[in-house]
């Protein structure tokens, strides 16, 4: 028996989506961890902290459900870019919205010339780590040493290495 999935669409950041960026991320962070000062600063000031600083924020919309997920690329150096604040509402899990969004954000990172394109996460986020690995991220000790101290909860650092 085949199930039909809602149509998924990617949207660029707009100021009227800032609350969705905040709320989606607060939902997943507070479900597993606690908000850290770094989280609050980015989530409460996405235009200043991400967009105006040369990064991007994308959203995924599921037909009939509205915005169900978001992800950001935050510049951390001249070419270095952190994939950060990726979350999908619990009510939308299983629709492949996260994979769809991750593919779009990786493409955007490559278009930006991200080197490295990396992410910081926690080993408790096993499903997310599996998705990252599936789409080309590899565990990286150098990334951990260079960027991992930004979050107290960070115990996994990964770098995007596209399959050639």
Is residue 108 assigned to a domain? yes
Question: How far apart, in Å, are the Cα atoms of 70 and each of 2, 67, 98, 139?
Answer: 27, 8, 8, 23
Contacts of 121 (CB under 8 A, 6+ apart): 128, 129, 132, 154, 156, 157, 158
Q: What is the pLDDT of residues 84-108, one digit of tens each?
A: 999 999 988 889 999 999 999 999 9
Q: Which of 163, 20, 8 is nearest to 101 (CA)?
A: 8
Answering whether pTM is above 0.85, one says: yes
- In whole angstroms, what is the distance from residue 152 CA to residue 110 CA? 28
Average pLDDT over residues 16-37: 93
Per-residue confidence band for 152, with pLDDT thresholds at 50, 70 and 90 = confident
Q: Is residue 134 part of a domain?
A: no
In a domain, 147, yes or no: no
- pLDDT for 111: 96
DSSP annotation of 3 reads P
**CATH assignment of the domain containing 60:** 3.40.630.30
Note whether residue 56 is domain-resident: yes
Let me know if residue 45 belongs to a domain. Answer: yes
Tens of pLDDT, residue by residue over 115-133, are 999 999 999 999 999 999 9
Number of folded domains in the chain?
A: 1
What pLDDT, on the 0 to 100 scale, is given for residue 107?
97
Position 21 scores a pLDDT of 98
What average pLDDT does the structure give for the chain? Answer: 92
In a domain, 155, yes or no: no
The least confident of 5-9, 105-109, 132-136 is: 5-9
The answer to whether position 143 is within a domain reads no
Tell me whether residue 153 is in a domain.
Answer: no
Structural domain boundaries, residue 90: 8-116
* Distances from the Cα of 149 to the Cα of 59, 87, 144, angstroms: 27, 21, 8
């Amino acid at each position: 028996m085949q199930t039909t999935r809602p149509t998924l669409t990617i949207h660029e950041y707009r100021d009227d989506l800032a609350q969705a960026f905040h709320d989606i991320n607060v939902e997943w962070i507070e479900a597993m961890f606690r908000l850290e000062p770094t989280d609050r600063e980015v989530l409460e000031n996405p235009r200043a902290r991400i967009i105006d600083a040369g990064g991007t924020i994308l959203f995924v919309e599921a037909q009939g459900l509205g915005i169900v997920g978001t992800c950001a690329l935050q510049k951390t150096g001249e070419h270095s870019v952190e994939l950060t604040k990726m979350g999908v509402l619990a009510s939308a899990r299983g629709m492949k919205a996260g994979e769809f969004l991750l593919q779009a954000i990786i493409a955007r990172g490559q278009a930006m010339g991200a080197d490295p394109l990396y992410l910081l996460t926690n080993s408790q986020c096993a499903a997310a780590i599996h998705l990252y690995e599936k789409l080309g991220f590899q565990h990286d000790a150098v990334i951990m040493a260079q960027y991992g101290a930004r979050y107290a909860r960070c115990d996994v650092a990964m770098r995007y290495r596209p399959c050639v």
